[in-house]
Amino acid sequence: MRQCSVFMPPETCPICGAEVPPKARACPECGADEQTGWSEKAESQRLGLPDDEFDYDEFEKEEFGAENKDRPRGISWFWWAAALLVLLALLAWWLRF
């Protein structure tokens, strides 16, 4: 009796990231197949996809540097005063006419 193994290729090639048709025997873009790299972890690191061990806090520190404690705390009093002066000037101009 002959055993038939049903092979299902991945939806996305782990080598190049191309879409793989459902019954394809190899990737249409790079030619990868079951013998050359279709495994759970095969070359998927090259795609830049986050894995199960992905740590967002660590990623944020690497991308944006250390946390900045000197954050702006809203609009400066100077700009509030400038806006008030502009409003008063507009009101005075409107009341003259």
85 DSSP assignment:
H
Structure tokens at 18: 């191309």
Residue 42 CB burial class (10 angstroms; 0-12, 13-18, ≥19): middle
Interatomic CA distance for residues 39 and 32, integer angstroms: 11
What are the CB-based long-range contacts (under 8 Å, 24+) for 56-64? Answer: none
Interatomic CA distance for residues 16 and 3, integer angstroms: 31
Q: What is the pLDDT along the chain (97 residues), one digit of tens a residue?
A: 555 555 677 888 877 888 888 888 888 888 888 777 665 555 444 556 666 777 888 888 888 877 666 666 777 889 899 999 999 999 999 998 6
pLDDT (0 to 100) of residue 8: 74
